[in-house]
Every structure is written in structure tokens, then in C-alpha cells.
Amino acid sequence: MLQATHLIGFGVKRASTSLTCTDLGNISGTGTNIGDMTEGGGLAGAFDFNTSQATSASARKTSVTSSSVGKSWGGNKNICRFDLYGPTDDFFFGNSVAGNTIKLQGSATGSFSGEQTTLYTHTFGSYSTSQVISVTSGITGGNYAYHRWLFESAASTGRTVAEIRVWALA
């Protein structure tokens, strides 16, 4: 929980309120999009507030074993929740192979070349058929100026995400 103090009216009265992650709102529309999932709807497709769209309008990358989409926030953010939505006409990973992963990673520099920290990993079971992944706990924290969702698979096929919704504490 985050403790916040709000001024009440024009006086000096103060009220202390405990805020939860969802009280702070969705920050998906802020920051600058980063990553290499530039096919289909490009990076903007992952942050356009449309949770029901086809592959052609979603952030996508084909013929690779890993790809990413994320945000440069312009300041540190501590992500406390995120929701990932798959496209309406395909899976997150077109090949539906078990063992595919999606990792949330944080970076102070944005280079993601060894200095990044993995904050959460989702590993798919038998098939990558779940079209909505909602993560509300288990995110190891820290404030980072850059976050990305890294899609990894042993097979060189497409990776697609229709929407990423993000909530942060800072």
C-alpha cells in the first residue's frame, strides 16, 4: 500500500488515505513507446486502449525468437499491475508452443543489454491459448524509467499483443 496525504479545501486540514494500485489509475497512455514489435499496428497498437483488435492492428513481430514492446516513462514508475490482451484472430505466439514466456523487465537506462531486471515472468503451459493475462501480484518491484514486455520462444514465429494496460504506484 502507498500512503498519501491530500489537502482538504483551502484550510490546513489533512486526511490520510491508503491507496491501492487501482486507485492510482491506468498509465498506459503516458510515456513513449519502445521496442521492436513494429509490424501490424506497430508499438502504438499495444497502447491504444483497444482490447479487442486483430493482428493487423496489434503490436507484432514475426520470424524471431524474441521481441519486445514497452515504455520510456520520462521518470521512474513502479508497476503494480498489468493486463495483456491477445489479438482476436491469433494467439500471443502464433505457434502455441508450451514454454513460451512473457517477461516484464525494468531498466534504468533503456538499453536492455544486461542491466535490466526481470520483474515478472509468465510461462505458458501446454498451449498459448489464454487471450488475457491479468497480473495483480507477484511483480518484484522497484522504480524504473523504462519497462518492456519481452516475448520469448524457442520457435521463430510471430509474437502479437493487442493491448497492454499498466498501473503504477509512482
pLDDT tens for residues 18-36?
Answer: 556 766 667 888 999 999 9
Query: Looking at the domain 25-168, which fold is it?
Result: Jelly Rolls (2.60.120)
75 SS3 class = strand
What is the domain partition of the chain in residue ranges?
Answer: 25-168
Summarize pLDDT for 133-162 with one digit per residue, the tens. 999 999 997 799 999 999 998 888 888 999
Strands (E) in the chain, as ranges, are: 2-7, 14-19, 32-35, 39-40, 59-77, 79-85, 101-107, 117-123, 132-135, 144-161, 163-168
d(CA 21, CA 16) in angstroms, rounded, equals 16
Phi, psi of 64 (to 5 degrees): -140, 160
- CA 102, 145, 67 angle in degrees (round to 5)? 30
Burial of 143 (0-12, 13-18, 19+ CB in 10 A): middle
Confidence of residue 106 (pLDDT cuts 50, 70, 90): very high
Assess contact for 88 and 52: CB atoms under 8 A: yes
Q: Which three cell numbers stand for residue 41?
A: 499496428
Q: How many residues does the chain have?
A: 170
d(CA 58, CA 50) in angstroms, rounded, equals 9
Report pTM.
0.84
